């Protein structure tokens, strides 16, 4: 075998054929590799686009399941009770409509439902509290003290719908606060690319929906108001009132000034976007700085006893064994 290889190397024809075969194979590989190679960047971008479309569809489906529309339709019995007892006069407040909008409930149905529960919640709280205090367990209280407790429970029932609205408003504001800097960046890109402010709102609403459905809803509603209101300034002001966030109100004020005086929108959006990011970072640093004091009590209660047991346990066992 070894002699055959030596004779082949010494044979000029065999060596030329071998080199020709190697050259032909190298040529085929050189021509075929670019055709077989794939673009990792294009593949990654395609995967990202597909995932973004899937997330957007999932969030829209969840939004459709959670809320049938921007307006809440009242039930027939709720409307009947509110009309018969004239609850809008006795239980309604001046700022109830604005608070309902801030919590994400719009339309006459939202006000009807709010007034209905302001009437029903105290009654339900009184029934449950009375049954518990007078039937299940009186906690050793005399009848007068139990009656006073029932009055306090009734007041809690009156405030329960307002507390619910406050909680919903806080959740919506938190969602908007987290996604708003990214929305401003997208809006800045859209404006600098030559889009109108209406088209920028529409594009940002479509893109930001995967991150914050609440912000996408507010942007869509603002875009709708800009379409049918005579003055776009009202749409910007309503956007700031519905969210009740300083960053959103600043953007609304900048857009109003740009629309009134013709100042460039892009520069204002760039500055406001940076301010929003700085504010969000400052809040994160504030929460991080507040973490050590919050961990002090849990560490004292849960960690120190374990450390004492680990350190003193073997010594105690040794002492007891010696005795």
Per-residue pLDDT reduced to its tens digit, 169-226: 999 988 888 888 888 888 888 888 888 888 888 888 888 888 888 888 888 888 888 8
User: Which pLDDT belongs to residue 167?
Assistant: 92
Which of 128, 152, 173 is where one domain is finished? 173
Instruction: Count other C-beta atoms under 10 Å from residue 258's C-beta.
Output: 19
Residue 54 forms part of a structural domain: no
* Tally of domains within the chain: 2
Q: Which residues contact 199 (CB under 8 A, 6 or more apart)?
A: 190
Residue 24 forms part of a structural domain: no
**Which segments in the chain show pLDDT lower than 70?**
1-12, 14-16, 31-77, 81-82, 84-94, 323
Residue where the block lists tokens 């085929």? 28
CA distance 183 to 245: 14
Which of 122, 139, 173 is where one domain is finished? 173
Residue where the block lists tokens 């065999």? 14
Q: Give yes or no: residues 101 and 197 share one domain.
A: no
Q: What percent of the chain has pLDDT over 70?
A: 76
- Give the relative orientation of helices 246-261 and 265-289 as an angle to the nearest 10 degrees: 170
Residue where the block lists tokens 């007068």? 144
Instruction: Count other C-beta atoms under 10 Å from residue 193's C-beta.
Output: 11
Q: Give yes or no: residues 183 and 167 share one domain.
A: no
Q: Give yes or no: residues 194 and 240 share one domain.
A: yes
User: Which pLDDT belongs to residue 62?
Assistant: 57
Residue 124 forms part of a structural domain: yes
Q: Give yes or no: residues 149 and 203 share one domain.
A: no
Instruction: Work out the mean pLDDT of the chain and round it to a whole number.
Output: 78
| H/E run at residue 107 | none
Residue 204 forms part of a structural domain: yes
Residue 3 forms part of a structural domain: no
Q: Are 121 and 157 in contact (CB under 8 A)?
A: yes
Judged by DSSP in three states, 71 sits in strand
Q: Are 119 and 87 in contact (CB under 8 A)?
A: yes
Q: Give yes or no: residues 166 and 189 share one domain.
A: no
Domain that holds residue 270: 177-289
CA distance 17 to 10: 13
Per-residue pLDDT reduced to its tens digit, 282-297: 888 888 888 888 888 8
Q: What is the 3-state secondary structure (H, E, C) of 130-177?
A: HHHHHHHCCCCCCHHHHHHHHHHHHHHHHHHHHHHHHHHHHHHHHHHH
Q: Give yes or no: residues 142 and 241 share one domain.
A: no
CA distance 169 to 101: 9
Residue 274 forms part of a structural domain: yes
User: Which pLDDT belongs to residue 28?
Assistant: 74
Residue 227 forms part of a structural domain: yes
């Amino acid at each position: 075998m070894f002699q055959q290889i030596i004779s082949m190397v010494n044979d000029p024809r065999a060596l030329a054929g071998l080199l020709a075969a190697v050259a032909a194979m190298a040529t085929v590989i050189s021509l075929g590799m670019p055709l077989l190679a794939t673009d990792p960047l294009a593949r990654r971008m395609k995967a990202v686009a597909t995932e973004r479309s899937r997330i957007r569809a999932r969030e829209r489906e969840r939004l459709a399941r959670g809320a049938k529309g921007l307006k809440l339709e009242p039930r027939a019995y709720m409307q009947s009770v509110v009309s018969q007892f004239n609850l809008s006069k006795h239980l309604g407040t001046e700022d109830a409509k604005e608070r309902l909008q801030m919590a994400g409930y719009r339309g006459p149905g939202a006000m009807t439902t709010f007034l209905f529960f302001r009437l029903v919640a105290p009654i339900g709280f009184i029934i449950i509290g009375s049954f518990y205090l007078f039937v299940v367990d009186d906690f050793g209280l005399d009848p007068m003290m139990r009656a006073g407790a029932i009055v306090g429970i009734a007041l809690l029932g009156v405030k329960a719908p307002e507390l619910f609205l406050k909680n919903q408003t806080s959740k919506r504001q938190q969602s908007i606060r987290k996604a708003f800097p990214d929305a401003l960046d997208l809006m800045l890109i859209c404006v600098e690319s030559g889009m109108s402010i209406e088209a920028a709102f529409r594009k940002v609403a479509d893109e930001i929906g995967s991150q914050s459905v609440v912000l996408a809803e507010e942007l869509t509603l603002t875009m709708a108001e800009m379409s049918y209101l005579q003055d776009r300034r009202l749409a910007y002001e309503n956007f700031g009132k519905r969210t009740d966030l300083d960053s959103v109100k600043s953007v609304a004020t900048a857009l109003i000034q740009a629309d009134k005086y013709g100042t460039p929108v892009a520069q204002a959006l760039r500055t406001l976007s940076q301010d929003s990011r700085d504010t969000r970072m400052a809040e994160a640093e504030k929460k991080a700085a507040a973490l050590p004091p919050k961990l002090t009590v849990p560490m004292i209660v849960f960690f120190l006893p374990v450390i004492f047991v680990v350190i003193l346990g073997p010594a105690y066992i040794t002492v007891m064994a010696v005795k």
